[in-house]
Amino acid sequence: MRITTVGLDADDTLWHNETIFRLTHERFVALLADHADPATLEARLAETEQRNLRLYGYGIKGFTLSMIETAMELTGGEAPASVVREILAAGREMLGHPVETLPGVDEALALLSDSYRLILITKGDLLDQERKLAASGLGDLFAAVEIVSEKNRGTYDRIFARHGTGADEAIMAGNSMKSDVLPALEAGAFAVHIPYAITWAHELADAPADHRRYGKLDSIDQLPGWIASRSRTAA
């Protein structure tokens, strides 16, 4: 079995992301502390986000709009202007947040790019993801960058056909079981789950029961070895 192409998720796989969302959640909860308890605030925000996904898609702009909407709902439509201003500011700060790559990412990608075609495959806001990739300094290692509205089987079929030699000779690595691992396996690719410290509830899913093309790693620095061993042995 040959592997020619390595797809990599971006947020929480190459650099910290969910921690930044969590900080903003905490800020949101503090802002509205007079109106509801933290658990209620978190639950309502999650509901709004989930409901708005089909309209806003993924990313910080939609998240900011969902925070404002939730603030309105929790205050009977009368959120103070100061709360709205704070939420706008929080969204802007997220969009300007420095990019901090995860431990081992630079070395692992440098190594992988010697032998494989690397493709960045990520959801989120177009401009924001491009900004983060540029700020990460990793841009030159990728043969292609695909910012997509959803990650499903068709997404991986299309991307690995366009930029590689098909899903059969590709592997996807990322922190989301739901978006990175399961649909890539469905498409016929290898897939490796590298969990991040925190997972957004929306991205949770069960691991595949027993799949020869699936692996779970503690850290991205184990990825080059995992791929090398699979590339040699039969799948």
Is 19 a binder of a second copy (CB under 8 A)?
no
Q: Which of residues 190-229 bind a second copy (CB under 8 A)?
A: none
Q: Which of residues 120-159 bind a second copy (CB under 8 A)?
A: 125-128, 130, 147-149
* Beta strand spans in the chain (E): 5-8, 117-122, 144-147, 170-174, 190-193, 214-216
Q: Which residues pair with 192 in a beta bridge?
A: 173, 215
CA 63, CA 57: separation in Å to the nearest integer? 9
CA 62, CA 113: separation in Å to the nearest integer? 33
* Member of 34, 77, 140, 210 binding a second copy (CB under 8 A): 77
Q: Based on CB atoms, which residue is closest to a second copy, 53 or 228?
A: 53
Q: Which stretch binds a second copy (CB under 8 A): 4-12, 19-27, 79-87, 170-178?
A: 79-87
Q: Which stretch binds a second copy (CB under 8 A): 21-29, 74-82, 181-189, 197-205?
A: 74-82
CB of 35 to a second copy, least distance (A): 13
* Member of 5, 13, 64, 136 binding a second copy (CB under 8 A): 64
Is 43 a binder of a second copy (CB under 8 A)?
no
| Contact of 28 with 41, CB cutoff 8 Å | yes
Q: SS3 sequence, 80-125?
A: CHHHHHHHHHHHHHHHCCCCCECCCHHHHHHHHHHHCEEEEEECCC
Q: Based on CB atoms, which residue is closest to a second copy, 46 or 72?
A: 72
CA 57, CA 59: separation in Å to the nearest integer? 7
List all residues 6 or more positions away from 16 whose beta carbon is below 8 Å from its beta carbon: 100, 102
| Contact of 205 with 186, CB cutoff 8 Å | no
Is 95 a binder of a second copy (CB under 8 A)?
yes
* Member of 79, 138, 192, 194 binding a second copy (CB under 8 A): 79
CA 219, CA 13: separation in Å to the nearest integer? 9
CB of 208 to a second copy, least distance (A): 28
Q: Based on CB atoms, which residue is closest to a second copy, 68 or 217?
A: 68
Residues that bind a second copy (CB under 8 A): 55-57, 59, 61-62, 64-65, 68-69, 72, 75, 77-82, 84-85, 88, 91-92, 95-96, 125-128, 130, 147-149
